[in-house]
Structure 1
Amino acid sequence: MYPALAFLLLFFAGGRVPVNREFRPTPGGIPVFVVSNGFHTDIVVPVREPRTGTDWLQQLGQPQLTAQFSAHEYAAFGWGSERFYLASYGGRMPGVGTVLRAAGPGRTLMHVGFYQSAPRPGQHVVALQISADQYRRLTTLLQASFAPDSAGRAQLRNAAGYTPSDFFFRARGRYHALRTCNDWTAATLRRAGLRAPLKSPLAGPVLRQLRRSRAAAGQAPQ
């Protein structure tokens, strides 16, 4: 009982514990963003990044997406419960039953969206510049979150998402109450070397720790 209680305490208090406290944005580095709708977080990166040779349209391997979004500048990546994502179609709020079922272990999806230009920093958007090495690590981690098919290609789950510019792909890992979409974001940022909370079931601590890294570098917290 006590180990479980200690883990729950860590999970809900972990948002106050920073990892990579020494991280500072890189002046002139590669622009990345963390975007929230108040409940969920996405990591937003350039569609094409010449310093690292990254091309996300090529990585996704979907010719129809390449044709449609070749002029877009940024791509957003989020991980979450397949049940919750698909029950949210049409702007619907999933019912209590769906939310409770999502709290148990279940399959996951990667939510991928495209931006014509960079997100505007604000209450729910934190902008950072990171080094090429940090970006390479971040790219590797994002790629590893997709569940590939037998040929190693990302698997498109739905031909459309919530809008004409977002889509769902099959993902690795199981979603549950102790492994949420925001905890995935926090873990991905941490492993890439960015400041992030130790654990975070909520969006707020993820944004707050990133803002503190900006403040420590003498940048406006946004």
Structure 2
Amino acid sequence: MSAAFTALILFLCTGALVPVNRQFRQTPDGILVFVASNGTHTDVVVPLQVPHTQGASWFRHLPDSSFHSRFDAYEYAAFGWGSEKFYLASYNQQVPGPATVLRALVPGPTLMHVRFLRHAPPAGTHVVAVHISPAQYQLLTAQIEAAFQSDSLNRYTLRTAAGYTANDFFFRATGRYHALRTCNDWTVRTLRRAGLRVPLKSPLAAPVLHQVRQAK
């Protein structure tokens, strides 16, 4: 085993234990956002509309006006970044095979997975609720917006007509997915740049939830 490979493994293992933005404190009565996981993958969950902020107006970026009429009464949306190959191989509740997993380890195209939620997700083992300030919310939504590919009219580019259900969709994303830049690393970078407490580096979901949960 080479010294470089050993150093990489140590970095990945210890990075999950080292918090950044450890000074972060929740904002009483602030904007409620969530970090949610299915056990392996993490999403950032934010309100679709927040009065009196300059955060994202999600519907104006969507390519079809029907999105607004369909989901206007929904309260939250979950955003996750990941490998196009892995996402599309997961349709119909399929578990991607070893070949798909191995192909995802080398740089490849990415998608943003967007799920519309009628209500805020209930906090629990795999869902962490955090109250943040309007300024942090603006930074957070700006990071999420930057992950989407947009057309000349600044509308997100839909990859497929449907997602896993009637309430989720895949859009083309920026960046390349590979072994050192995973879906959970995207969540870490997105939250870190908004000032929230996260691990230094984590390809896994559990350390992300753990560090966010430590915020007072």
TM-score using structure 1 length:
0.93
| Partner in structure 2 of residue 20 of structure 1 | 21
Shift in Å, 1:6: 2.1
Provide the secondary structure at the position in 2 that maps to 1:51: coil
Q: How does 1:55-66 map to 2 (within 5 A)?
A: 55-66=57-68
CA RMSD, Structure 1 to Structure 2 (Å) = 1.2
Q: After TM superposition, where is structure 1 displaced by more than 4 Å over at least 4 residues in a row? A: none
Q: Higher helix proportion, which one?
A: 1
Q: How does 1:68-217 map to 2 (within 5 A)?
A: 68-213=70-215, 217=216
Shift in Å, 1:206: 0.4
| Letter paired with 1:33 | F
Identity %: 59
Contact 1:34–1:126 under 8 Å retained in 2 = yes
Distance 1:99 1:64 in 2: 35
Shift in Å, 1:41: 0.4
Distance 1:126 1:62 in 2: 31
Shift in Å, 1:94: 0.7
Shift in Å, 1:151: 3.0
> Could you list the per-position Cα deviations for residues 82-129 of structure 1 after superposition, in whole angstroms to 9, with x for gaps in the alignment?
000000000000111111111111000000000000100001000010
Contact 2:60–2:155 under 8 Å retained in 1 = no
| Partner in structure 2 of residue 220 of structure 1 | none
Gaps of 5+ in 1: 218-222
Total equivalences in the alignment: 214
Q: State which drifts further: 49-58 or 192-201.
A: 49-58
Distance 2:14 2:124 in 1: 25
Contact 1:18–1:197 under 8 Å retained in 2 = yes
Contact 2:188–2:198 under 8 Å retained in 1 = yes
Gaps of 5+ in 2: none
TM-score using structure 2 length:
0.95
> Could you list the per-position Cα deviations for residues 115-156 of structure 1 after superposition, in whole angstroms to 9, with x for gaps in the alignment?
000100001000010000000000110000001123332101
